[in-house]
């Protein structure tokens, strides 16, 4: 088992895992870690816990040490410089009339490099902007264009479910999401309900994709004829989550609606197994005139397929 702790470099946004063997840490502690920008300070956001060593992976790096008072003070100065850098960069963007949306400015802990994150619908020629920033801060400048999902991951926020955004908590990468997933799940194709904080389709549509695909393969579709213990009817509605099938029976007096569990209907066709995708195969009696199935067979007279 490996002792793991989650830390953040900003007040909001994604938390990162680091191993912390030999350290007694609690929420709010400042620690020093190695990042792509070099040495940096982060704060513990969750009490340490243990993970199986095999599931940790090589990407988990250890915490170097607990931050000193001098490093914490230096971190406060760094955050203030980042706010100033953000405002100054925003001023240069407006001056140059560049079509870009500045998201964040991040100083390396040693102050020798600044990374500016931005979003834009098009490619941006920011060569003159880099010269302005280099002259203003006397440091290495990097402008990094990110997508709207990366922006939400970096900034953080609360989803429509009331919980912290998935991309800020546990998502390691963004899987493709399509409107077909929403259709398969029977959701309203309303952008205001399907889009997340980033303005794109919500990542959680991907989470139940396999479950819905499996349900669509096994359960019948609306409008199909199906045999039930009460005779043959037409499927009028299917609840994919509860696996309940609503069947309409038409008779001389009108129409009747009845709801069946899919498990209740499935054994009726166990003699022949599954037929076409989403359909029940024809029922065949293998018992002749035995008393146990005579009444049931009367309800399952052969009918032509649609």
Q: Tell me, what's the pLDDT at 47? A: 86
Q: Which residue has the higher pLDDT, 252 or 222?
A: 222
Q: Which residue has the higher pLDDT, 53 or 107?
A: 107
Share of the chain above pLDDT 90, in %: 10
To the nearest whole number, what is the mean pLDDT of the chain? 79
Judged against a pLDDT cut of 60, whether residue 125 lies above it is answered with: yes
Q: Tell me, what's the pLDDT at 284? A: 41
**Residue 281 and residue 274 in contact, taking contact as beta carbons nearer than 8 Å:** yes
Q: Provide the whole-model pTM.
A: 0.61
Determine the average pLDDT of the residues in 98-117: 88
Judged against a pLDDT cut of 80, whether residue 173 lies above it is answered with: no
Determine the average pLDDT of the residues in 277-297: 42
Determine the average pLDDT of the residues in 52-69: 78
Q: What is the DSSP annotation of 199-234?
A: SSB-GGGGTTHHHHHHHHHHSPPTT-EEEETTEEEE
pLDDT band at 210; cut points 50, 70, 90: confident
pLDDT band at 104; cut points 50, 70, 90: confident
Distance CA 82, CA 88 (A): 10
Judged against a pLDDT cut of 90, whether residue 287 lies above it is answered with: no
Q: Tell me, what's the pLDDT at 228? A: 84
CATH 3.30.300 domain residues, the chain:
73-146
- The CATH code of domain 73-146 reads 3.30.300
Instruction: Please state the φ and ψ torsions of residue 190, each to the nearest 5 degrees.
Output: -105, 115
List strand residue ranges (DSSP E) for the chain, in order. 2-8, 16-19, 30-35, 38-44, 49-51, 65-66, 101-107, 113-119, 140-145, 225-228, 231-239, 244-251, 254-261
Determine the average pLDDT of the residues in 18-38: 86
Q: Tell me, what's the pLDDT at 90? A: 92
Per residue in 126-172, pLDDT (tens digit) is: 888 999 999 998 889 999 888 888 888 777 788 888 888 888 777 76
Q: Tell me, what's the pLDDT at 241? A: 82
């Amino acid at each position: 088992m490996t002792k793991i702790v989650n830390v953040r470099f900003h007040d909001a946004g994604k938390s990162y895992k680091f191993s912390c063997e030999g350290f007694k840490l609690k929420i709010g502690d400042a620690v020093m870690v190695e990042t792509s920008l070099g040495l940096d300070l982060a704060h513990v956001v969750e009490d340490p816990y243990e993970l199986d060593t095999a599931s940790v992976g090589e990407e988990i790096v250890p915490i170097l040490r607990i931050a000193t008072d001098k490093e914490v003070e230096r971190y406060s100065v760094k955050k203030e410089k980042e706010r100033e850098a953000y405002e100054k960069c925003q001023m240069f963007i407006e001056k140059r009339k560049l079509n870009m949306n500045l998201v964040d400015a991040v100083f390396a802990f040693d102050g020798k490099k600044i990374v500016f994150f931005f979003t834009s619908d098009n490619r941006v020629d920011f060569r003159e902007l880099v010269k302005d920033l280099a002259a203003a801060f006397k440091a290495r400048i990097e402008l990094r264009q990110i997508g709207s999902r990366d922006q939400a991951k970096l900034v953080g926020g609360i989803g429509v479910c009331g919980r912290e955004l998935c991309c800020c908590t546990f998502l390691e990468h963004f899987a493709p999401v399509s409107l077909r997933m929403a259709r398969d799940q029977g959701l309203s194709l309303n952008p205001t309900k399907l889009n997340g904080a980033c303005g794109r389709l919500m990542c959680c549509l991907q989470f139940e994709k396999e479950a819905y695909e499996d349900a669509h393969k096994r359960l019948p579709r609306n409008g199909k004829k199906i045999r039930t213990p009460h005779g043959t009817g037409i499927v009028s509605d299917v609840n994919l989550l509860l696996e309940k099938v609503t069947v309409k029976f038409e008779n001389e007096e009108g129409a009747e609606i009845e709801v069946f569990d899919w498990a209740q209907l499935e054994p009726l066709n166990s003699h022949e197994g599954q037929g076409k995708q989403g359909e029940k195969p024809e029922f065949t009696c293998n018992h002749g005139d035995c008393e146990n199935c005579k009444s049931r067979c009367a309800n399952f007279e052969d009918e032509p397929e649609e």
